[in-house]
Amino acid sequence: MNSRKRHIAKTITWRLIATSTTFILTIFFFREDPNATEKASWVALIETSIKMILYYYHERIWFINTIKLKSKIRHFIKTITWRITASITTFVIALFIFKEDPQAMEKATGIALVESILKMIFYYLHERAWHTSKFGLK
């Protein structure tokens, strides 16, 4: 059985990976903005706060509603459901922070699309690594 400590640890490790990725992508897409680094920091900070909560509940929902699937298929489906939630969140945050940019919609879309691909790969690998870990198991 999983413990809440395990879910909290998974949340923190994933947030470190994911926030770093979003920060770098945001700077890249909005590199013409003279305040890109500062604004990307705000995107990362807001994202971290919101997504840690969303990720924790995503984990709890998947734990409570145990679907009897092979672990690789289950991890793939978890990857997709999380990525949809997370990419929409990133899109909205980037759009809000860079709302003055005339191409904010296109750039926020670019961030969401590129991060979707990268983070699905990273998330799947993260899930597989945690699947082999015994941390927090009772």
Q: What is the pLDDT of residues 6-44, one digit of tens each?
A: 888 988 898 899 889 999 999 999 999 999 999 999 999
Amino acid at 53: I
Helix axes 36-64, 71-97, angle to 10 degrees: 150
Amino acid at 95: L
pTM of the model: 0.76
Please indicate, yes or no, if residue 98 is contained in any of the structural domains: yes
> Do 135 and 11 meet the contact criterion of CB atoms below 8 Å apart?
no
Q: What is the count of structural domains for the chain?
A: 1
Q: How many CB atoms lie within 10 A of CB 14?
A: 22
| Domain of 55, in residue numbers | 4-132
Please indicate, yes or no, if residue 138 is contained in any of the structural domains: no
Please indicate, yes or no, if residue 137 is contained in any of the structural domains: no
Residue 1 has pLDDT above 60, yes or no: no
Phi, psi of 40, deg, nearest 5: -65, -35
Amino acid at 49: S
- Condensed to tens digits (0 to 9), the pLDDT of residues 58-113 reads 988 888 776 666 777 877 888 888 889 989 999 999 999 999 999 999 999 999 99
